[in-house]
C-alpha cells in the first residue's frame, strides 16, 4: 500500500476550542425554529405551538462500528441518519441535531474533519441544523452521540402502542441488505488481514455494502404520508431487525399479528448474496439489523391511498389473539422470536 505522506495535525496542537471552531464553522442554519445555534452555552429552539420530539443515539468504536472498513465520513453520515430515522418513526420531521464526540489521541484533526464532512452531508440532505454538542477526550477509541430534535405536524405524533385489530402491517423499502453488507465487509477484512495486497472487488456487492455504509432515513416516506393525510396507528423504525421490532410494536399495543413470509420485501441481489453466504433470505430479512426502514400499521381504509406507491409492502395484519406469528411459505403458523422465528 502507498504511504500517506500528508502531514496530519495533532489534536493537542489546536486545542478543544480550535477543534470545535474548525469542525463547526461551515454549517449553515436552514430552519426557522433554530433561534440560537452553536456558540453560546446552549441552543434556543422555537417550535411555536408544535410539539417537539427528541431522541439520542450513541455509537461506540469496537461495539457499533469498526474503522478498519467503516470510513469516518460514512460514520458521521450514518450516526445522523440513525437519529433522524427515530424521529421519522414518531411521524416527525427532524429540524436540529447536536453531536457529541469523545476522541482518543490516536485521531488527528483531519480524521475528525472527515467525520464532520459526513455529518454535514447528512444535515444538507435532510435539511437539519447542527446546533451544538460536546467535545471531549477518550482513553481509547471514538464515541459519537447524536441527539435529534424535531416536531410533529398538526395531526400529531405516532407511538408504537396504538395499533388496532385488523390494521394492516406495512414495511418500507426492502429488508436484509444492511446485514449482508456487514457480512461482506467483515469477510473482506479477514481476507485483508491474511493478504494486505489483495484488492477486493466489491462491485457485485455495491447495493448491500451501501445499505451498511450509507443508509438513508425514510423522511420522504413521512412527507408522503403527511401530504396524503395517512396517519399510521403505530410505527417503529427497523434498526434491530424486523422480528424484534414487530414484537416491540405488538407488545406495546397489547395485540398480536400475522406476518406472511412470502410478502417480505427482499431484492433479488439480496437473495443472490444470501445464497453465496449460505444464509436463508427470510431469516436475514427478519433478523438482519440496520435497515432503517419503517414498520407501521394503518387502518385498512387508508390502503387505497398507498397501494400504488412502490415504497410500501403489506406484510401482514394485527390480530385479536396475542400471538406474534409468521405464516411460512408452506402455510405453517410459527411464533416469531426476536432472533427470527422458531423453526422446529
Distance CA 279, CA 269 (A): 13
Number of residues that bind ligand ADP (CB under 6 A): 14
Distance CA 218, CA 221 (A): 5
Checking DSSP bridges between strand 256-260 and strand 333-337, what pairing results, if any? unpaired
Cβ atoms 192, 198 nearer than 8 A: yes
Decide if residue 99 touches ligand ADP (CB under 6 A): yes
Stretch of residues binding Mg ion (CB under 5 A), selected from 23-31, 133-141, 147-155, 294-302: 133-141
- Which listed residue (14, 20, 60, 67) binds ligand ADP by CB under 6 A? 20
The footprint of ligand ADP on residues 148-177 (CB under 6 A) is none
Q: Position of cell 455495491? A: 206
Stretch of residues binding ligand ADP (CB under 6 A), selected from 98-106, 198-206, 219-227, 250-258: 98-106
- Which listed residue (38, 54, 58, 267) binds ligand ADP by CB under 6 A? 38
Checking DSSP bridges between strand 333-337 and strand 324-327, what pairing results, if any? antiparallel
Cβ atoms 257, 319 nearer than 8 A: yes
List C-alpha distances in Å: 105 to 31, 85, 152, 328, 332. 35, 31, 40, 52, 56
Q: Tell me the closest approach of the beta carbon of residue 39 to Mg ion, in angstroms.
A: 12
Pick 99 or 318: Cβ nearer ligand ADP:
99
Cβ atoms 81, 74 nearer than 8 A: no
DSSP for 253-277 reads HT-EEEEEGGG----HHHHHHHHHT
HSE, side-chain direction, 13 A CA sphere, residue 301: 4
The SS3 call for residue 89 is: coil
Stretch of residues binding Mg ion (CB under 5 A), selected from 22-30, 131-139, 254-262, 276-284: 131-139
Q: Position of cell 477486493? A: 200
Say which entry of Mg ion, ligand ADP, none residue 38 contacts (CB below 5 to 8 A, set by partner kind): ligand ADP
Decide if residue 225 touches ligand ADP (CB under 6 A): no
Say which entry of Mg ion, ligand ADP, none residue 50 contacts (CB below 5 to 8 A, set by partner kind): none
- Tell me, residue by residue from 56 to 95, as one string, x for binding to ligand ADP by CB under 6 A and - for no binding: ----------------------------------------
Pick 134 or 220: Cβ nearer Mg ion:
134
Q: Tell me the closest approach of the beta carbon of residue 52 to Mg ion, in angstroms.
A: 22
**Interacting residues of 69 by C-beta distance below 8 A, sequence separation 6+:** 185, 186, 188, 189
Stretch of residues binding ligand ADP (CB under 6 A), selected from 38-46, 64-72, 82-90, 149-157: 38-46
Pick 11 or 130: Cβ nearer ligand ADP:
130
The distance between the two most distant Cα atoms of the chain, rounded to a whole number of Å, is: 66
- Which listed residue (134, 220, 223, 321) binds Mg ion by CB under 5 A? 134
Pick 134 or 223: Cβ nearer Mg ion:
134
Decide if residue 41 touches ligand ADP (CB under 6 A): yes
Distance CA 273, CA 203 (A): 12
Nearest 5°: CA angle at 139, between 136 and 143?
55
- Tell me, residue by residue from 122 to 151, as one string, x for binding to ligand ADP by CB under 6 A and - for no binding: --------x-xxxx----------------
Which residues of this chain interact with Mg ion, rule CB under 5 A? 134
Amino acid at each position: 500500500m502507498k504511504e500517506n505522506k500528508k502531514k496530519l495535525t495533532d489534536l493537542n496542537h489546536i486545542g478543544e476550542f480550535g477543534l470545535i471552531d474548525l469542525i463547526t464553522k461551515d454549517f449553515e442554519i436552514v430552519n426557522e425554529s433554530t433561534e440560537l445555534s452553536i456558540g453560546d452555552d446552549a441552543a434556543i429552539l422555537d417550535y411555536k405551538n408544535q410539539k417537539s420530539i427528541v431522541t439520542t443515539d450513541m455509537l461506540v468504536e469496537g461495539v457499533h462500528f469498526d474503522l478498519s472498513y467503516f470510513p469516518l465520513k460514512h460514520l458521521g453520515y450514518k450516526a445522523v441518519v440513525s437519529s433522524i430515522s427515530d424521529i421519522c418513526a414518531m411521524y416527525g420531521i427532524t429540524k436540529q441535531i447536536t453531536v457529541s464526540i469523545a476522541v482518543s489521541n490516536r485521531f488527528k484533526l483531519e480524521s475528525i474533519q472527515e467525520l464532520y464532512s459526513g455529518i454535514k452531508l447528512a444535515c444538507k440532505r435532510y435539511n437539519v441544523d447542527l446546533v451544538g454538542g460536546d467535545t471531549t477526550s477518550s482513553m481509547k477509541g471514538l464515541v459519537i452521540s447524536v441527539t435529534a430534535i424535531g416536531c410533529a405536524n398538526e395531526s400529531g405524533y405516532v407511538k408504537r402502542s396504538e395499533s388496532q385489530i385488523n390494521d394492516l402491517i406495512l414495511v418500507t423499502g426492502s429488508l436484509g441488505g444492511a446485514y449482508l453488507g456487514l457480512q461482506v465487509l467483515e469477510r473482506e477484512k479477514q481476507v485483508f488481514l491474511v493478504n494486505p495486497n489483495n484488492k477486493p472487488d466489491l462491485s457485485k456487492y455495491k447495493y448491500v455494502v451501501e445499505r451498511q455504509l450509507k443508509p438513508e432515513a425514510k423522511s420522504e416516506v413521512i412527507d408522503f404520508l403527511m401530504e396524503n393525510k395517512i396517519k399510521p396507528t403505530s410505527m417503529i423504525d427497523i434498526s434491530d431487525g424486523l422480528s424484534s421490532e414487530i414484537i416491540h410494536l405488538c407488545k406495546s399495543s397489547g395485540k398480536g399479528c400475522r406476518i406472511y413470509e412470502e410478502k417480505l420485501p427482499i431484492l433479488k441481489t439480496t437473495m443472490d448474496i444470501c445464497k453465496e453466504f449460505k444464509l436463508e433470505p427470510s431469516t436475514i430479512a427478519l433478523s438482519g439489523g440496520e435497515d432503517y426502514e419503517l414498520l407501521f400499521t394503518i387502518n385498512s381504509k387508508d390502503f387505497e391511498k398507498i397501494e400504488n406507491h412502490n415504497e410500501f409492502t403489506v406484510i401482514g395484519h394485527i390480530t385479536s389473539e396475542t400471538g406474534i406469528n409468521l405464516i411460512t411459505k408452506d402455510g405453517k403458523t410459527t411464533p416469531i422470536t426476536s432472533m427470527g422465528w422458531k423453526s422446529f
